[in-house]
Amino acid sequence: MKEFKIKVKNRMIFLLIVVIALGVVLGYSLSNRDSLIDNNSHIFVRQVGFICGMLAVLLVKLSRSYTTLRDSRKLERAYIQENDERMKLIIRDTSTVTLTLILACLAMSMVFSSFYSSELAQGFWYSILISIIIMIITYLFFNKKY
Amino acid sequence: MKTEIQELRKEYKISQEELAQAVGVTRQTIISIEKEKYIASLILAYKIATFFNRKIEEVFDFSKVGEDDERI
């Protein structure tokens, strides 16, 4: 449990760093709005909205982690939730199926987009290629680990 | 995989939540094992068997291993 507490603390520190970094980016974006807007004001608004959303989610996560650290019962529950083997299996299977579906969707998108735009098809092709390279590297890593 | 967990729980008058807490898993995992939807790992099976002072093979039925349990 002590190790888990340290793990939660480390996660909180990491989250805090991300929140501060996002805050700095948001502050910079808003203070330099005039020079950043140009003709793409809708992109700027989307970016600011995305950062605000991210900040809100991270702050909620941060406050949850803080309350978990303070309450020993919550900490124990969180520990069980995180180390529950069924939950781990669900997460692993979800990731595997999601990745497979994403790759299938990318492959289909590449085929269909090639009829309209070769650049778009090339983009999809690179995405598939990078995903497969990452998969191979990850596979080799875990093959060596276990 | 068929298990005797439900019967043992009734015998010992223990709830799913209590068993789950004792072996360090969620209540949902105990439910899934009892419903034969999920097969416990060796460590969890050992913990559950030890909790009831039984041997693993007395709690878990290994007679059909390999027939329909693809996760073993």
- What value of ipTM does the predicted structure carry? 0.83
* Other beta carbons less than 10 A from residue B40's beta carbon: 25
**What CA–CA distance (Å, rounded) separates B36 from A76?**
27
Q: Distance between CA A97 and CA A99 in Å, rounded?
A: 5
pLDDT digits (tens, 9 = 90+) for B20-61: 999 999 999 999 999 999 999 999 999 999 999 999 999 998
The beta-carbon contacts of B36-40 under 8 Å, at least 24 apart in sequence, are B36/B1, B36/B2, B36/B3, B38/A86, B38/A89, B39/B1, B39/B69, B39/B71, B39/B72, B40/A85
Q: Which residues of B touch A89 (CB under 8 A)?
A: 38
What pLDDT digit, counting tens, does each position of A3-49 carry? 888 999 999 999 999 999 999 988 888 887 777 666 567 777 888 88
**C-alpha pair distances (Å), B32 with each of B2, B12, B37, B42:** 11, 20, 5, 16
Cβ atoms of residues A12 and A69 within 8 Å: yes
A-B CB pairs within 8 A amount to 24
pTM for this entry: 0.73
Interface of B to A at Cβ within 8 Å reads: 20-21, 24-26, 28-29, 32, 38, 40-41, 44
Residue of B nearest to A79 (CA): B24
A81 touching chain B per CB within 8 A: yes
Please judge whether B20 and A89 are an interchain contact, meaning their C-beta atoms are less than 8 angstroms apart.
Answer: no
Residue B24 distance to chain A (closest CA, Å): 6
Q: Phi and psi (nearest 5°) for A67?
A: -65, -35
pLDDT of residue B48: 96
A contacts of B29 (beta carbons < 8 Å): 84-87
Q: Which residues pair with B3 in a beta bridge?
A: B60
